[in-house]
Amino acid sequence: MNKKLSVQQAFDLAKERYAAVGVDVEQALKHIQQLSISLHCWQTDDVVGFESAGNQGGSGIQATGNYPGRARNIGEVQADIEEVLTHIGGTHRFNLHAIYGDFGGKVVDRNQILPEHFTGWMEWAKEHNLKIDFNSSSFGHAKSGNLTLANPDKDIRDFWIEHTKRSRAISEAIGKFQEDPCIMNLWIHDGAKDLTVNRYKYRQILEQSLDEIFATPYKNMKDCIESKLFGIALESYTVGSHDFYMGYGVKNQKIITLDTGHFHLTESVADKISSLLLFTPEIMLHVSRPVRWDSDHVVTLNEEIIELAREIVRADALNKVHVGLDFFDASINRIGAYVIGVRATQKAFLQAFLEPLETLRAYEANEQHFERLALLEEAKSLPWNAVWDYFCLKNDVEIGEDFIPAIQQYEKNITSKR
């Protein structure tokens, strides 16, 4: 049977089945089409960036693996992302770190970066119907050490304050150019390997640094602050803990970034959504898969990400929660990693959009707990995959596993020759 015809027939049957439990499939398709996922640039090149100052190799971030084909310049990053876009439906965003500027081979230290170093990225993104998000980069630099914005050394601290201020100014320029707010994420690795007696002091310094950084208001960018549980070689103490940033974010009405790998493996990130939304304006998600804590594995369709998507939809928070990916697996085909991660995230949200939520809410309101649990269980086996295949068909991207040979061909023709 013709594949397109079989997909259409399966979709028609699925639509009837969902209608029987009160779900509007067309509305769910509209939602998934509008869901913008921010694709992270660092999966293409293992978080190396394009500085010429020779700063890489410092503390903060580590990608593992040496699979051939890493992007070596901006053109190769862009080519890889363009390839990824041919395998995913919807309209998306692109998440850029400060170390990925177009510095023209010149030494431009991080306290000297300007919007002009990212003009090419803005123009490229516009050409490909992408919106750009941004990140300051405090890791992998000669002045990173164990402490950056929380450093008692004023010279080092001021260096990173200036870098972050400039990152905000660049984000403002990007947001103005694309006529859509650029979301700028602030994450630092600051901490200590062993026992720490000045916890309060470092957090007090970090608070003062943040106050100085955020002193200038902008209209075309949004500030996010991201916590971490611990860092490699900084296992005993993290200055920017979840409690610290949650308190700072609530007090100063900043967006909290929840990275799914930055919490204990038994902790529910989904459960944090409803609490934070009561007290902070918005939430930024960095979605990864923590096999052993923050191992940043490629996102797959597991129960944790499905529950995260459900909680966002159940809270009617689609306009308050931004979704981005954050993994860097250098052990497998990098383009394949992107496509798996994006499609898995979309599948999770599609299942959330297809949940018979109104009926479930009615059961709960009426204290019909048996009925609620029964429908939750039955909903797991509703034919969401037929709706997914139809979404792919309508977006003219591969159905099922058909993207595998296409990515293999890109590797054969492009990445294997790098």
Tens-place pLDDT, residues 171-190: 999 999 999 999 999 999 99
Q: What is the pLDDT of residue 53?
A: 53
| 244-270 mean pLDDT | 95
Confidence check: pLDDT of 340 > 70: yes
Q: What is the pLDDT of residue 216?
A: 98
Catalytic residue among 228, 272, 297, 322: 228
Tens-place pLDDT, residues 143-155: 999 999 999 999 9
262 included as an active-site residue: yes
Q: Is residue 194 part of a domain?
A: yes
pLDDT above 90 covers what percent of the chain? 92
Dihedral (C-alpha) 253, 211, 187, 322: value to the nearest 10 degrees?
Answer: 20
Q: How far is CA 294 from CA 144, 343, 362, 367, 376, in A?
A: 20, 21, 38, 39, 30
Q: Is residue 371 part of a domain?
A: no
* Amino acid identity at 215: A
Give the start-end residues of each E strand in 68-220: 93-97, 131-135, 182-186, 191-192
- Write down the pTM of the prediction: 0.96
Catalytic residue among 286, 297, 322, 347: 286
Q: Please give the residue range of the domain that contains residue 69.
A: 35-356
CA 418, chain centre distance (Å): 27
294 included as an active-site residue: yes
242 included as an active-site residue: no
pLDDT above 70 covers what percent of the chain? 98
Confidence check: pLDDT of 255 > 50: yes
Catalytic residue among 80, 223, 296, 355: 296
Confidence check: pLDDT of 57 > 50: no
| 224-248 mean pLDDT | 93
Q: What is the pLDDT of residue 265?
A: 86
SS3 322: strand
Cβ atoms of 255 and 224 closer than 8 Å: yes
| 77-93 mean pLDDT | 97
Catalytic residue among 80, 83, 226, 329: 226
Confidence check: pLDDT of 330 > 50: yes
Catalytic residue among 187, 190, 282, 322: 187
Confidence check: pLDDT of 223 > 60: yes
Q: What is the pLDDT of residue 58?
A: 45
296 included as an active-site residue: yes
Q: Is residue 414 part of a domain?
A: no
259 included as an active-site residue: yes
Catalytic residue among 97, 141, 262, 322: 262
Catalytic residue among 51, 223, 294, 355: 294
Q: Transcribe 379-411 into DSSP letters.
A: HTTS-HHHHHHHHHHHTT---GGGHHHHHHHHH
Q: What is the pLDDT of residue 415?
A: 97
Confidence check: pLDDT of 240 > 70: yes
201 included as an active-site residue: no
Q: Using CA of residue 253, residue 259, residue 265, residue 270, what is the dihedral sign?
A: positive
Cβ atoms of 84 and 342 closer than 8 Å: yes
SS3 132: strand
Confidence check: pLDDT of 292 > 90: no
- Please tell me the distance from the alpha carbon of residue 11 to that of residue 8, in angstroms, as a whole number: 5
Q: Is residue 6 part of a domain?
A: no
Tens-place pLDDT, residues 371-411: 999 999 999 999 999 999 999 999 999 999 999 999 999 99
Q: At what angle do helices 3-20 and 384-394 cross, to 10 degrees?
A: 130
Residue 37 tokens, joined: 């996922």
- Please tell me the distance from the alpha carbon of residue 4 to that of residue 59, in angstroms, as a whole number: 50
Confidence check: pLDDT of 132 > 90: yes
Collect all residues with Cβ–Cβ distance below 8 Å to 259 and sequence separation of at least 6: 226, 227, 228, 285, 286, 288, 294, 326
Confidence check: pLDDT of 300 > 80: yes
Q: Is residue 382 part of a domain?
A: no
Q: Domain holding 292: CATH number? A: 3.20.20.150
326 included as an active-site residue: yes
Q: Is residue 210 part of a domain?
A: yes
Q: Is residue 30 part of a domain?
A: no
Q: Is residue 415 part of a domain?
A: no
226 included as an active-site residue: yes
Nearest to residue 31, comparing CAs of 410, 396, 321? 321
- CA-derived radius of gyration, the chain: 22
Q: How many domains does the chain have?
A: 1
Banded pLDDT at 191 (limits 50, 70, 90):
very high
| 60-71 mean pLDDT | 86
Mean pLDDT, all residues of the chain: 95
Confidence check: pLDDT of 210 > 60: yes
